[in-house]
Amino acid sequence: MIEVRNQDTLLEVRGLHTYFYTYEGVVKAVNSVSYRLNRGEITGLVGESGSGKSVTAQSIIRLVKAPGRIVEGEVWLDGQDLMSCSEAEMQTVRGRKISMIFQEPRAALNPLFTVGDQISRVIQLREGCSRSVAERHAVEMMRAVEIADPDRRASAYPHELSGGMCQRVMVAMALSANPLLLIADEPTTGLDVTVQAQVLDLIRLRVKSAGSACLFITHDLGVVAELCERVIVMYAGRVVEQGPVAEIFSNPRHPYTQGLIASTLRVDIDKPISTIPGTVPDAVHLPSGCTFHPRCPFAEELCQQEEPQMVEAGRDHTTRCHIVSGRIEREMLEEAWTLETA
Amino acid sequence: MEFPTQGPMMTKANGEAFVQIRNLRKDFPIRVGMFSHVRLRAVDDVSFDIPKGSTLGLVGESGCGKTTAGRCLLRLIEPTSGEIRMGEHNLTDLRSEQVAQMRGRMQMVFQDPGGSLTPRMTIGAILREPLDLHTNLNAHEKDQRVRQLLSQVGLQEDHLSRYPHQFSGGQQQRIGVARAIATHPDFIVLDEPTSALDVSVRGQILRLLTQLQEEMGLTYLFISHDLSVIKHTCNQVAVMYLGRIVEIGSTEEIFGSPTHPYTQALLSAVPIPDPTQRGKERLKLPGEVPSPIDLPPGCRLYSRCPYRRDACLEPGPPLLQVGGSHKAACILVDENIHFGGGNTAAALSRLDQAHDRV
C-alpha cells in the first residue's frame, strides 16, 4: 500500500463503502470509491444530488451520521491510516490536518460567538498560544481572505455579516489551521456569481501557496473547469469517471459525463438545450448492472446484467463503461444528447 | 372554459406589448429602533414591455428586487406606485376582489418545487383547486382537464393519488407547472423555476416550458440569477441591480454586446465549462452589493464600479439608448465609448484617452 504511494499523493482512498441502514433498506451512498489527491492540486468531485459526493467527504473525516456507517475501505492521509485511528487521534486530524468548508456558512458558524472569537479558537487549539496572540493572528487571517476592515469585523457576529462575508470567515477559519487537506463542500452554492468568483480566487490562491490538496465538491461543471486540475465524476454512489480536467472536458468517455457536459448551459456559446432522460435512481433500489443504464442512450443488454469495471480510458484517465472497455462494440455519438432543439 | 371577465385579450396581435410595466416602485418600511422606520426601495422606477407569446428575463443577484418586481406584477404584493397593464386591463386600478378574479389568467411557478405544493393534498387535489376557484367546469370536465394536464407536463395518470413527497424535484416542478397552466392563463411569472433542480433535469423543465409557451401562446416573465438559463430561454433580458434596471435589450444585444459595467462583470464572472477558456481576462467588481437602505440618488454601482467618476454621483442615470431596443443606465454610454468584452485594462485606457480629449 505505502510502497505504491506516489510521492505527490497526499490522500488515498481505497475501496470505500459507506452504507446507510434505513427503514426502507440499505442505501449504498458510497460504493467502492477509490481515488488519490495530489499535493498542490485541486480535485473536483462532481455529481448530482444523491450521488454520494458529500458522504465521501464525511467518510474521509469519519463524521458519517447514523444510520450511516463506513463498512469497508482504507483512507490514507500522508502515510497515516485514518480508518485505524482512535477517535482521539481523529480529533487532532480534523482541524489540524484536514479542514472543511461547508455549503451554508451561516449554519456552520456559531451564532453566539463573534467571528474573530471563532477563528482565534482554532488558532489557539493548533498553536497552543495565548488568547491575545491568537486574536491578532485571527485578524491577520481575515485580512488574508480580503475582508475589509478586519479589526472591526472580528467583533461582528455571523448574523451581522453577508453570506459572502461569512463564507470568507469559513475560508479563513479552515485555512488558519494550515491544513494538509482542505475539503470544500459546495462552498459557493448560494453565493452570487460575482462573489463566487472572489471566493474561488481565494481558495485557489491559498491552496497553491500552502502546497496543500483540496477536494472541491460541486455540481457546477463551470466551476470545475475554472478551478480544478482533476475531476472525479460520481453517479449513484460510484465513481464513473476520473481524470485530468482538460482530458475529461475534451474527451469524456462515460455516457453520464458526456450527458452532464452536454446539458450544461453556457453563456458564451449558443447551443440547443440537451438533457439526460429520466431521473436519478432511487437510492434503495438501484438498477441492476450499470446503474446508469436506464438513462443511457447507448445501453445494451449486457449493461443491465453486469456491472462494468473501472478501465483505462486514456493517460491517467479511468472510467466504468462496457463500451469503453470493449465488451460492447458500439459508437457513442454526440448527437445522442442533442435530440431536440430548443 | 369561462372567465368572469372575458376581454378581447386573446385576439391581440403578436409583437404588441401584452404586459406593460411603467415606473413600478415598491418600498418596504424597515424598523430601526422602537418608533422609527427607514425606507428600503426594493423596486425603483422599473418599466418594461413583454410582447404576447414571448419571454422577458429578469436577471440579477440576490436582493436586487427581481422577485419583488415579479410579485408586484401579479399584485401578490401591492406596488407602492406605478402602472401594470396586462392586455386590456390596468391591474393597478383593480380592487383586490377584481384582482382575485383575474388570477386564473396570471399565474406563478415558484422556485422551491417541494415547498410550493401542499404536503397533505394529493396531486389530483392540487390540480383541481385552481379549476374549482376559477372555472365553471362540472366535476367530469374537471377530471378530464386534470388528466389532460398530467399528460401535458409528462406525468402519468396513476400519479394522481400520490402526495408531493413521493415525487422527485423535477417531477414536483412539473406539477407546479401543471397547476400554473390549469386555468389557461395568458401570463406566467416563473420565479427561478430550475434553480433547485439538478443539471440533467433542468433541461427537461426548460424544454417543457418552451413547448407549453408555443402550444398555448403563453407570455413569460422569467426571473433568474442564472445567466446561462436566461440566455437559452428569453427573447429579451432586463438586468437589475439594487432595485433598478441597469440594462435592457434583446438577448442577442445583452449577451453579444453588454454595455453596462455591471452586466459586463456579471457575464464575465460566470464560470465557463471549458478548461481551455481558463485565465481569460475578467472584469471583476470589488466588494459586495451594498445595503439597499437609504441609497444615494446616483448610480447604484458607484461603490464598486471600475469606471466611476464624479458625474456618476448625480441623480440618475436614466436608461440611455445604445442601439435598437438596447438601453443601458450608464453615463458612459453617452460618451459613446464601447467597452470591449470585459477587458478592463483596455477599456480603461480607451476611457482615459477619451477623457484626455475632453
Complex ipTM: 0.83
**Residues A278, A153: one domain?**
no
Q: Which domain holds residue B266?
A: 257-357
Per-residue pLDDT at B3 exceeds 50: no
**Residues B231, B176: one domain?**
yes
Cell of A37: 489527491
**Residues A100, A184: one domain?**
yes
Task: Please state the rounded mean pLDDT for residues B309-324.
Answer: 88
Are A226 and B269 inside 8 Å of each other by CB? no
B322 touches B309 (CB < 8 A): no
Residue A279's pLDDT band, with cuts at 50, 70 and 90, is: confident
Q: Is residue B251 part of a domain?
A: no
Q: Is residue B161 part of a domain?
A: yes
Of the residues A250, A275, A307, which one is the last residue of a structural domain? A250
Residue B38 β-bridge partners: B30
B15 touches B82 (CB < 8 A): no
Residue B66's pLDDT band, with cuts at 50, 70 and 90, is: very high
| Antiparallel, parallel or unpaired: β A181-185 and A213-218 | parallel
- The per-residue pLDDT for A49 is 84
Peptide bond into B317 cis (omega under 30): yes
Cell of A317: 484517465
* CA quadruple A106, A108, A113, A117: dihedral sign: negative
**Residues B212, B137: one domain?**
yes
State chain A's maximal CA–CA distance in angstroms: 68
* Sheet containing strand B89-90, strands side by side: B36-51, B17-32, B81-86, B89-90
Q: Is residue B314 part of a domain?
A: yes
How far apart, in Å, are the Cα atoms of B76 and each of A182, B70, B100?
45, 9, 10
Residue B130's pLDDT band, with cuts at 50, 70 and 90, is: very high
Q: Is residue B245 part of a domain?
A: no
Q: Tell me which chain B residue has its CA closest to the CA of residue A279.
A: B201
- The per-residue pLDDT for B347 is 52
Helix axes B261-269 and A193-210, enclosed angle (nearest 10): 50
Q: Which residues from A are below 8 Å from B267, CB to CB?
A: 267
CB-closest option in A164, A219, A221 to B198: A219
Q: Closest Cα of chain B to A89: distance in Å?
A: 38
Per-residue pLDDT at B357 exceeds 50: no
| Range from A83-92, B77-86, B267-276, B346-355 carrying the lowest mean pLDDT | B346-355
Distance CA B38, CA B27 (A): 10
Residue B15 β-bridge partners: none
Distance CA B311, CA B299 (A): 9
**Residues A155, A227: one domain?**
yes
| Range from A43-52, A74-83, B30-39, B200-209 carrying the lowest mean pLDDT | B30-39
**Residues A91, A221: one domain?**
yes
Residue A2's pLDDT band, with cuts at 50, 70 and 90, is: very low
Q: Tell me which chain A residue has its CA closest to the CA of residue B205.
A: A275
**Residues B108, B40: one domain?**
yes
**Residues A195, A285: one domain?**
no
Cell of B12: 391581440
| Range from A36-45, A270-279, A332-341, B268-277 carrying the lowest mean pLDDT | A332-341
pLDDT tens figures, B139-176? 999 999 999 999 999 998 889 999 999 988 889 999 99
**Residues B182, B307: one domain?**
no
Per-residue pLDDT at B8 exceeds 70: no
Counting the structural domains of chain A, the total is 2
- The per-residue pLDDT for A308 is 94
Are B233 and A164 inside 8 Å of each other by CB? no
Interface test with B, best of A149, A165, A167, A193 (most B CBs within 10 A): A193
Stated length of chain B: 358
A226 touches A213 (CB < 8 A): no
Percent of chain B with pLDDT over 70: 89
| Range from A166-175, A205-214, B85-94, B281-290 carrying the lowest mean pLDDT | B281-290
Task: Give residues 85 to 114 of B whose Cβ lies within 8 Å of A.
Answer: none
Cell of B301: 454601482
Of the residues B171, B205, B240, which one is the last residue of a structural domain? B240
**Residues B208, B305: one domain?**
no
Distance CA B166, CA B155 (A): 13
Per-residue pLDDT at B355 exceeds 60: no
Counting the structural domains of chain B, the total is 2
Q: Is residue A122 part of a domain?
A: yes
Cell of B8: 378581447
**Residues B222, B312: one domain?**
no
Q: Is residue B3 part of a domain?
A: no
- The per-residue pLDDT for B7 is 35
Of the residues B190, B215, B240, which one is the last residue of a structural domain? B240
User: What is the domain-level CATH number for residue A88?
Assistant: 3.40.50.300
- Is B265 within 8 Å of chain A by CB? yes
- Is B169 within 8 Å of chain A by CB? yes
Stated length of chain A: 342
**Residues A242, A262: one domain?**
no
Distance CA B16, CA B53 (A): 10
Q: Which domain holds residue A143?
A: 9-250
Which H or E element spans position B101?
helix B96-102
- Is B306 within 8 Å of chain A by CB? no
Task: Please state the rounded mean pLDDT for residues B70-77.
Answer: 93
Residue B307's pLDDT band, with cuts at 50, 70 and 90, is: confident
Task: Please state the rounded mean pLDDT for residues B31-37.
Answer: 81
**Residues A129, A239: one domain?**
yes
Per-residue pLDDT at A247 exceeds 90: yes
- The per-residue pLDDT for B123 is 95
Q: Is residue A332 part of a domain?
A: yes
Q: Is residue A133 part of a domain?
A: yes
Per-residue pLDDT at A3 exceeds 60: no
Q: Is residue A1 part of a domain?
A: no
SS (H, E, C) B157-176: HHHCCCCHHHCCHHHHHHHH
Q: Tell me which chain A residue has its CA closest to the CA of residue B230.
A: A267
Of the residues A202, A225, A250, which one is the last residue of a structural domain? A250
- Is B138 within 8 Å of chain A by CB? no
Task: Please state the rounded mean pLDDT for residues A275-302.
Answer: 89
- The per-residue pLDDT for B343 is 42
Helix intervals (H) in A228-335: 245-250, 255-263, 301-305, 322-325
Distance CA A243, CA A247 (A): 7
| Range from A2-11, A189-198, A246-255, B79-88 carrying the lowest mean pLDDT | A2-11
- The per-residue pLDDT for B351 is 52
Q: What is the separation of C-alpha A232 from the centre of its chain, rounded to a whole number of angstroms?
A: 8
pLDDT tens figures, B245-285? 999 999 999 999 999 999 999 999 999 999 998 877 788 88
Query: What's the mean pLDDT when you consider all of chain A?
Result: 88
Q: Is residue B27 part of a domain?
A: yes
* Helix (H), strand (E) counts: chain A: 13, 12
**Residues A212, A323: one domain?**
no
Q: Which residues from A are below 8 Å from B275, CB to CB?
A: 225-226, 245-246, 249-250
Of the residues B240, B274, B306, which one is the last residue of a structural domain? B240
CB-closest option in A194, A264, A274 to B269: A194
Are B266 and A280 inside 8 Å of each other by CB? no
- Residue position matching grid coordinates 462573489: A195
- The per-residue pLDDT for B4 is 40
User: What is the domain-level CATH number for residue B51?
Assistant: 3.40.50.300
Q: Tell me which chain A residue has its CA closest to the CA of residue B62.
A: A192
Distance CA B11, CA B25 (A): 30
Q: Tell me which chain B residue has its CA closest to the CA of residue A278.
A: B201
Which H or E element spans position A313?
strand A310-314
- The per-residue pLDDT for B6 is 35
Per-residue pLDDT at B336 exceeds 70: no
- Is B280 within 8 Å of chain A by CB? no
CB-closest option in B228, B232, B278 to A225: B278
In the DSSP assignment, the letter for residue B250 is: E
B124 touches B161 (CB < 8 A): yes
Of the residues A218, A250, A282, which one is the last residue of a structural domain? A250
Per-residue pLDDT at B183 exceeds 50: yes
Task: Please state the rounded mean pLDDT for residues B337-351.
Answer: 48
Q: Is residue A334 part of a domain?
A: yes
Are B271 and A279 inside 8 Å of each other by CB? no
Query: What's the mean pLDDT when you consider all of chain B?
Result: 86
* Helix (H), strand (E) counts: chain B: 11, 12
Strands in chain B per DSSP E: 17-32, 36-51, 55-59, 81-86, 89-90, 106-109, 187-191, 219-224, 236-241, 244-250, 320-323, 326-328
Q: Which residue has the higher pLDDT, B125 or B281?
A: B125
CB-closest option in B171, B271, B288 to A223: B271
Q: Which residue has the higher pLDDT, A42 or A281?
A: A42
CB-closest option in A219, A226, A340 to B271: A226
3-state secondary structure of A202: helix
Q: Closest Cα of chain A to B61: distance in Å?
A: 6
